[in-house]
Amino acid sequence: MAALNQGVAIVTGGGSGMGRGIALRFASLGTKVIVVGRSSGNIEETVALIRAEGGEAQACLADVSVEADVIRMVDFTTERYGRLDFAANVAGVAASPKPLHEMSLAEFEDDHAVNSRGVFLGMKYQIPAMLRSGGGSIVNVTSGAALGGFAYFSAYTAAKHAALGLTRTAALEYADKGIRVNSVAPGAISTPMLMRNEEDVLAPMRMSIPMKRFGTEAEIAAATVWLCSDEASYVTGQVLPVEGGYTASVLTVVSAHELIKDGLEYAAKKK
């Protein structure tokens, strides 16, 4: 596996939020980055930001839930650069919160298509390319929801558990073949998606975090790229929560349940 400043990375979900932050972090350290996403405008904007800082990046339009797109994504990378050293599988979606019995099958399957099938397909085709390159490192960005129950997000939670299971299993299968596989599990991060909520929703969420603030995209990027670096060369099969201490509390499950319940009731009153 090449060093960060000599390597090639795929970043899915790279058009915005945490994926964009990770792509920018890789590029700032000299990594050549393939920015993958479903919106050509968004991924081209990320590429432009990287190039403006002197980095090297290419845009690749792809849906990680579609096998043909994932094959094309990896082929594009290896045809362009001849190798693949790092992958950050960041692309994710979440259905609106609701009790399990009110969730449709379509909503359940949409969550799994990206959050678990997308991770499976990504690794299925990234790993052979890394084997040909002499090794590599994969980080699957999951969620704090992968570490326990998350009320009113049953499909999302199940999909993130599946992604974490895939991470640990792949780590075992390729540990002696030069490929490390880990996960970063973000908590509440100040992405555009989160910050669209009203302050009445954000304030109690923020106060439930021991550090009393939301995380940043840069903090997720730093953790992700560190796991890919030689500094983490003896780390595989692990999940690194980056969530301000949220899961350290025995009250986490209760507080999360009540926060989401209150949020649903608030939203219902606003209608």
Kindly write down the DSSP assignment for every residue of 36-55, as one continuous string: EES-HHHHHHHHHHHHHTT-
3-state helix, strand, coil in the chain (%, to 5): 55, 15, 30
Number of Cβ within a 10 Å radius of residue 6? 12
* From 125, 152, 156, 174, the catalytic residue: 156
Q: Which DSSP string do the residues of 116-160 spell out, in sequence order?
A: THHHHHHHHHHHHHHHHHT-EEEEEE--GGGGS--TT-HHHHHHH
State whether residue 106 is helix, strand or coil: helix
Q: Which residues pair with 241 in a beta bridge?
A: 185
* DSSP 8-state class, residue 10: E
CB neighbourhood size of 27 (10 A): 24
Backbone angles phi and psi of 34, in degrees to 5: -100, 115
Contact 119, 143 (CB under 8 A): no
Residue 152 is among the residues annotated as catalytic for this protein? no
Tell me which residues are annotated as active site: 156
